Amino acid sequence: MGLKTKNGTIEYPAFFPDATHACIKGISSADIVASGTTGLVVNTYHAIVDKTVDTIEKCGGLHKFMGVKMPIITDSGGFQAMSLVRRTPGNGKITRDGIKFKMDGSRQSITLTPENCIQTQEKLGADIMMCLDDCTDPGESQKEQELSVTRTVAWAKRCKDEFQKIKKDKPLLLAIVQGGNSKELRKKCAEELIKIGFDGYAYGGWPVDASGAFLDEIVAYTAELMPEGMPKYAMGVGKPEDIKKCVKMGYNMFDCVLPTRDARHKRLYVFNDSVEKGYEFVYMRAQKHETDMNPVSNSCTCEVCLGHSRAYLYHLFKQGDSDAGRLATIHNLTFYSKLMAELRQLTLLR
């Protein structure tokens, strides 16, 4: 069982690395495919800011442009409302109509509305579109959370109306459940969204509290509110231990910048024999690797582990060679592919 999209079937559970600007820093599309990655997330807000939407459309959409044949999710830009506007009000404004981002210097301000958000995702050629949502931090006031749910539901309705104008090669449209840390608001938001009707649902909002603790209870509760047999997407959840927890809760789709960002910061993921025994980090900045002729991981079959030693990767990072980030990213993405493949096996065994 999986989720059929225009560019392939998604086998659950699936992890989607963030190719935010229609690329993953430092690696080629061929590298992405070779790492076993089965899908990507591209960001609508960044495509607008980068002014690449028309270019990508003229080039036949994201798949042709990037040269990949795999399901692509386009995120709506709602998350940027939180990370850029809510945390720094001088950066813009959230109103009933949408999110206005104020650009600095010579760049013009942009406004994301539910309508132009869907139109942009269509131009990009998404397999899975996300509704524009008003994303909050769990620490914000009850009043703000209520307002966010009201906006998120109203915007989802407008997204659906705009989505229904697409007649050809229809993608899937997922709605995002907000409500912060309030069960009452999460329930209200999910019920209202389910009434409108979407192809799947996502957990929205920051899933971690101010102390850095994962919000197990509200994340699990929100999964229960979503219909069975549909995509249940835990947005931004990416630590292997959090993915494992969320799979048990019923979530089947994930995305995160962690494996690629960590790779560039010399942090590599290595299994302790198997997924169930966990993993450890190998830091390529540690001097103990200077003459370590072992591969990054004995059990990994990526280009890096088959062809290079820790000593050589350490050397490349020390030299500031661009291949260092590339090799580390290929390894971490291969680790995530293996993690998800083993979780798929465990899910089948349950």
Rounded distance between C-alpha atoms, residue 38 and residue 3, angstroms: 12
Figure out which of the listed residues 40, 99, 258, 302 binds Zn ion, where binding follows CB under 5 A: 302
Rounded distance between C-alpha atoms, residue 192 and residue 153, angstroms: 7
The stretch near Zn ion (CB under 5 A) out of 37-45, 237-245, 269-277, 293-301 is 293-301
Of 133, 134, 255, 262, the active-site residue reads 255
Figure out which of the listed residues 151, 232, 308, 331 binds Zn ion, where binding follows CB under 5 A: 331
- Give 128 or 300: the residue with its C-beta nearer to Zn ion: 300
- Give 150 or 309: the residue with its C-beta nearer to Zn ion: 309
Figure out which of the listed residues 40, 300, 313, 339 binds Zn ion, where binding follows CB under 5 A: 300
The stretch near Zn ion (CB under 5 A) out of 6-14, 148-156, 237-245, 304-312 is 304-312
Residue 306 C-beta: closest distance to Zn ion, Å: 8
Residue 205 C-beta: closest distance to Zn ion, Å: 33
The stretch near Zn ion (CB under 5 A) out of 3-11, 312-320, 328-336, 338-346 is 328-336
Of 124, 276, 279, 133, the C-alpha closest to 202 is: 133
Residue 174 C-beta: closest distance to Zn ion, Å: 32
Any catalytic annotation for residue 134?
A: no
- Give 37 or 43: the residue with its C-beta nearer to Zn ion: 37
Rounded distance between C-alpha atoms, residue 267 and residue 262, angstroms: 5
In the numeric block, the tokens 């909002």 are attached to 205
The stretch near Zn ion (CB under 5 A) out of 87-95, 295-303, 310-318, 339-347 is 295-303
Using rule CB under 5 A, residue 284 touches Zn ion: no
Torsion of CA 202, 203, 205, 210, to 10 degrees: -160
- Number of residues engaging Zn ion in binding (CB under 5 A): 5
Of 75, 127, 133, 242, the active-site residue reads 75
Residue 301 C-beta: closest distance to Zn ion, Å: 7
Using rule CB under 5 A, residue 305 touches Zn ion: yes
- Give 141 or 301: the residue with its C-beta nearer to Zn ion: 301
Residue 221 C-beta: closest distance to Zn ion, Å: 37
Residue 37 C-beta: closest distance to Zn ion, Å: 14
- Give 99 or 305: the residue with its C-beta nearer to Zn ion: 305
Using rule CB under 5 A, residue 186 touches Zn ion: no
For residue 315, CA distances in Å to 153, 268, 308, 325, 333 come to 52, 15, 11, 12, 21
The stretch near Zn ion (CB under 5 A) out of 205-213, 230-238, 294-302, 320-328 is 294-302
Answer yes or no: are the C-beta atoms of 270 and 282 closer than 8 Å: yes
- Residue type for 208, please? V
Using rule CB under 5 A, residue 324 touches Zn ion: no
Residue 268 C-beta: closest distance to Zn ion, Å: 8
Any catalytic annotation for residue 31?
A: no
Q: Which residues are catalytic?
A: 75, 255
Which chain residues interact with Zn ion by CB under 5 A? 300, 302, 304-305, 331
